[in-house]
Amino acid sequence: MTDLQKENIMIFGSGLIGRSWAMVFASGGFRVKLYDIVKEQVTAALEDIRKQMEDLKKSGMLRGTLSVNEQMSLISGSSDLKTALEDAVFIQECVPESLELKQKIFSEIDLHVNDTTIISSSTSCLSPTKMFNGLKHVKNCIVAHPVNPPYYVPLVELVPHPETDVATVEKTYTLMKNIGQSPVKLMKETDGFVLNRLQYAVISEAWRLVEDEVISPRDVDIVMSEGLGMRYAFLGPLETAHLNAEGFKSYCERYGEGIKRVLGTFGPVPEFSGKVAEKIDEALWDQQNDKNGQLEARREWRNTCLSHLAKLKNEMKKN
């Protein structure tokens, strides 16, 4: 239990990610104040959260030990900034990905918080230096980048500003563990953080393989979901290599030359537009069904798969 437990968590922005954070914190027994500049958005968020929780309950996937009603009683909505910030020990910002907007919001928050409140951003790729520079409470500022949907995918990348206190990183790390997420600490910021740098390397090569007509878009996805992804759900690329030889050094000795040869054939950074984008897009739509319907259905299926995988991973950890 951290010293933050049972304290107020403020979620700043009640869109897709804000709602998910609210659910994750409530599942861990924290009181959550969900704030949004748009009043109707707060009302819609609370209704949506209840519906999501009830669906999760029905499918046996509700997180935590509290009932839906107990978790809902921990979440309150507000469109008044001062009320929402009251007693908040941890603020998770979830407004749209705009540096100017986030800078404006952090300057505002900076005026109202005390010296112990942690100010955390959900940003996917904005630099902590640019977002937090010059703030009075910069030592308390951090990025806690979730993966969509955070309710099912536990990774959180913690990225400090150069002036962030070690205590801020440690408290945030413990808090994330406490609510069942899997935090990792970046020692310094790097463009795209780590998850997206790895993801972009994969997307680029998938693009080039389709562009060079080596493989179809559907099949490149199968290489990942039925091949690499099978082990990556449990092991990272480094441990995978470690196990595929007699340790990582042995792997490098055996395969290093071959890896370097193949990497030397990788093409330039793709444009991410034009004919290849059209080809991939066309291949991914199911031509038999309406577009909106199929995206919704597929997202729902993805979430179900992820929640089952999360359950399996938890069971495997106990073994």
Q: Which is nearer to ligand NAI, 35 or 251 (CB)?
A: 35
Closest distance between ligand NAI and the C-beta of residue 150, in Å?
8
CA 104, distance to chain mean position in Å, is: 23
Does the protein bind ligand NAI through residue 127 (CB under 6 A)?
no
Q: Which of 8, 27, 41, 78 binds ligand NAI (CB under 6 A)?
A: 41
Task: Give the C-alpha separation, 151 to 307, whole Å.
Answer: 8
Q: Which of 67, 107, 148, 225 binds ligand NAI (CB under 6 A)?
A: 148
Does the protein bind ligand NAI through residue 103 (CB under 6 A)?
no
Of 12-20, 109-117, 160-168, 306-314, the segment contacting ligand NAI by CB under 6 A is 12-20
Residue least distant from ligand NAI (Cβ): 15
The secondary structure of 21-54 as a DSSP string is: HHHHHHHTT-EEEEE-SSHHHHHHHHHHHHHHHH
Q: Which is nearer to ligand NAI, 19 or 251 (CB)?
A: 19
Q: Which is nearer to ligand NAI, 199 or 289 (CB)?
A: 199
Residue with tokens 């990792």: 184
Q: Which is nearer to ligand NAI, 58 or 302 (CB)?
A: 302
Q: Which of 9, 25, 36, 117 binds ligand NAI (CB under 6 A)?
A: 36
Of 15-23, 26-34, 153-161, 201-209, the segment contacting ligand NAI by CB under 6 A is 15-23
What radius of gyration do the chain's Cα atoms show? 21
**Three-state secondary structure along 276-313?**
HHHHHHHHHCCCCCCHHHHHHHHHHHHHHHHHHHHHHH
Of 66-74, 116-124, 175-183, 262-270, the segment contacting ligand NAI by CB under 6 A is 116-124
Does the protein bind ligand NAI through residue 134 (CB under 6 A)?
no
Do residues 22 and 52 touch, judged by C-beta distance below 8 A? no
Nearest by Cα to 81 from 48, 104, 115: 104
The angle subtended at Cα 263 by Cα 259 and Cα 264, nearest 5°, is 120
Does the protein bind ligand NAI through residue 146 (CB under 6 A)?
yes
Full strand arrangement of the beta sheet holding 75-78: 75-78, 31-35, 8-12, 88-93, 118-121, 141-146, 155-160, 182-185
Closest distance between ligand NAI and the C-beta of residue 105, in Å?
6
Q: Which is nearer to ligand NAI, 151 or 251 (CB)?
A: 151
Peptide bond into 149 cis (omega under 30): yes
Q: Which of 5, 116, 124, 178 binds ligand NAI (CB under 6 A)?
A: 124
Q: Which is nearer to ligand NAI, 120 or 123 (CB)?
A: 123
Closest distance between ligand NAI and the C-beta of residue 96, in Å?
5
In this structure, are strands 31-35 and 88-93 parallel, antiparallel, or unpaired?
unpaired
The contact set with ligand NAI (CB under 6 A) reads 12-18, 36-38, 41, 94-97, 105, 122-124, 145-146, 148
